[in-house]
Amino acid sequence: MKLMTHYVSGLVLTDHIFEVPLDHAQPNGAKIEVFAREVVASRKVNQGLPWLVFFQGGPGSPAPRPTGSSGWLKRALQDYRVLLLDQRGTGRSTPVTAQTLAHLPPQAMADYLKHFRADAIVGDAEYIRRELLGPDEKWSVLGQSYGGFIITHYLSAAASALHQAIITGGLPPLTRHADEVYRATYKRVIGKNARYYQRYPDDIARVRDIMRHLQASEVQLPAGGVLSPRRFQQLGLMLGAGDGFEAMHYLLENAFVGGPNGRVLSHNFLRAVENEQHYETNPIFAILHEAIYCQGHASRWSAQRVRDEYPEFTPDVTTRGEQPVYFTGEMIYPWQFDDYAGLRPLKEAAHILADYDGWPVLYRPEVLQTNTVPCVAAVYYDDMYVEREFSEETARAIRGLKMWVTSEYEHNGLRADGETVLGHLLEMSECVNA
């Protein structure tokens, strides 16, 4: 269904809503809505431009909301009509939140959420492609981070629909167990912490001071929930961005203010912590993050189990002596469904999904080995979220894929300098097509 068209700073934005099956294997069953925003440069609105679909990172994040022509979108609109897809469960696509799931008992909630991985997202994309373009027309795809995971499944399941594939920071491990993924990423996070404290050595004492305070008293957050020491450590998710070290330092430097009974963590600091932690507003990330690595096996809270192998992340400062407190990274833990007030209603379903071992296969190496779709990928040398060595393995497994390994950018390169990054990949893609 085509909805409203808006005009913003040289862009023509057209809203589309599609009714798709919750389970694509049962096309006559329950339905959900998927929203997508078509974007074209106003001066090219009547040109027959090819389509480029953007898959956002996450999982559980909606597509960007454009306010003008800048970054990667500016470069893309030179050659394409762009479709910004709110992946199912996000944004305006039948959202998944504690509110919208409240009517379901835990098992029914878990069964519903099993339909929100990459395979279902590609099923939605194929439904939309047939509606917008027709069954025989192809389009190009661009995926950032988890968006690259989706594209890799697309190449495994419906490559005939693709004209070209562009991936930034998102070549997934094809067959590795979730435990292997977290062992590799924990090591990357250790390295990021060490470099952070080299840049800001005064923060060693500052972080230890905050942790002592959190261990001594229960700190309630403004929107509910508890800022426990382990939740505070989750701020390490910031360290993998290009400006993450500075963002972390500026957040920490004003943590304390004077209160009537001595120093306390400031309201502004606590609000800033909440603003950095999006698990309650994007709950798919918390519920299904480990499941994106599961193919025929259960995660059984992989990140929590593997964390025990790395004493660097122990939250108890009394046992650490003068050792720095290390932050964690892109890991999900079972205790989050206690510490985050907005996740508590999802706790039982999350445990059911953590024990579920029926996840279908997402990637088919035998198909990827015969790939004919022109593919290019940016791989960030010291990526904290997607292990470079595993990405390189996958790049070698996809026939014809051209890889750009760079240390110039961190994982958020497409957001930080999207016009340059996408421009370089499109130049690479021209060479592939030639």
Closest CA to 22 of 73, 71, 94, 90: 94
What is the identity of the amino acid at 244? G
| Whole-number Å distance between alpha carbons of 182 and 255 | 30
| Whole-number Å distance between alpha carbons of 370 and 214 | 54
How would residue 318 be classed by pLDDT, with cut points 50, 70 and 90?
confident
Mean pLDDT of 288-299: 98
Q: Is the pLDDT of residue 2 over 70?
A: no
Closest CA to 264 of 229, 319, 320, 216: 216
| Whole-number Å distance between alpha carbons of 301 and 333 | 7
* Domain parsing of the chain, residue ranges: 2-174+363-433, 178-354
CATH 3.40.50.300 fits 2-174+363-433, yes or no: no
Report pLDDT digits (tens) over 8-22.
999 999 999 999 999
Closest CA to 18 of 40, 4, 2: 2
How would residue 317 be classed by pLDDT, with cut points 50, 70 and 90?
confident
Q: Which two tokens stand for residue 231?
A: 């939740």
106-113 and 347-354 helices, crossing angle to 10°: 60
Report pLDDT digits (tens) over 352-410.
999 999 999 999 999 999 999 999 999 999 999 999 999 999 999 999 999 999 999 99
Q: What is the pLDDT of residue 3?
A: 78
By DSSP bridging, strand 256-259 and strand 31-41 are unpaired
Q: What is the pLDDT of residue 433?
A: 59
Report pLDDT digits (tens) over 137-170.
999 999 999 999 999 999 999 999 999 999 999 9
Q: What is the pLDDT of residue 82?
A: 98
Percent of the chain's residues with pLDDT above 90: 93
Q: What is the pLDDT of residue 432?
A: 62
When the pLDDT of each residue in the chain is averaged and rounded to a whole number, the result is: 96
Q: Is the pLDDT of residue 1 over 80?
A: no
Mean pLDDT of 290-296: 98
Mean pLDDT of 408-422: 97
What is the identity of the amino acid at 289? H
Instruction: Decide: 174 and 389 in contact? Cβ < 8 Å.
Output: no
| Whole-number Å distance between alpha carbons of 124 and 128 | 6
List all residues 6 or more positions away from 280 whose beta carbon is below 8 Å from its beta carbon.
98, 223, 225, 340, 341, 342, 343
Report pLDDT digits (tens) over 339-355.
999 999 999 999 999 99
pTM score of the predicted model: 0.97
Please give the angle made by the CA atoms of 432, 433 and 434, to the nearest 5 degrees.
90
Q: Concatenate the DSSP letters of all residues of 256-286 into one string.
A: EEEETTEEEE-HHHHHHHHHH--TTTSHHHH
Count of C-beta atoms within a 10 Å radius of residue 217: 10
Place of tokens 């750009």: 404
**H helices present in 133-243, as ranges:** 146-157, 178-199, 202-216, 229-233
Report pLDDT digits (tens) over 101-130.
999 999 999 999 999 999 999 999 999 999
Q: Is the pLDDT of residue 434 over 60?
A: no
Instruction: Decide: 190 and 401 in contact? Cβ < 8 Å.
Output: no
Report pLDDT digits (tens) over 262-271.
899 999 999 9
| Whole-number Å distance between alpha carbons of 38 and 132 | 11
Task: Indicate left, alpha or beta for 297 from its phi (over 0: left) and psi (-120 to 50: alpha).
Answer: beta
Q: Is the pLDDT of residue 301 over 60?
A: yes
Q: What is the pLDDT of residue 323?
A: 86
**366 vs 1, residue with greater confidence:** 366
| Whole-number Å distance between alpha carbons of 191 and 357 | 32
| Whole-number Å distance between alpha carbons of 172 and 391 | 6
Q: Is the pLDDT of residue 41 over 70?
A: yes
φ/ψ of 166, rounded to 5, equals: -125, 125
Catalytic residue ranges: 145, 383, 411
**H helices present in 36-117, as ranges:** 71-76, 106-113
Q: Is the pLDDT of residue 208 over 80?
A: yes
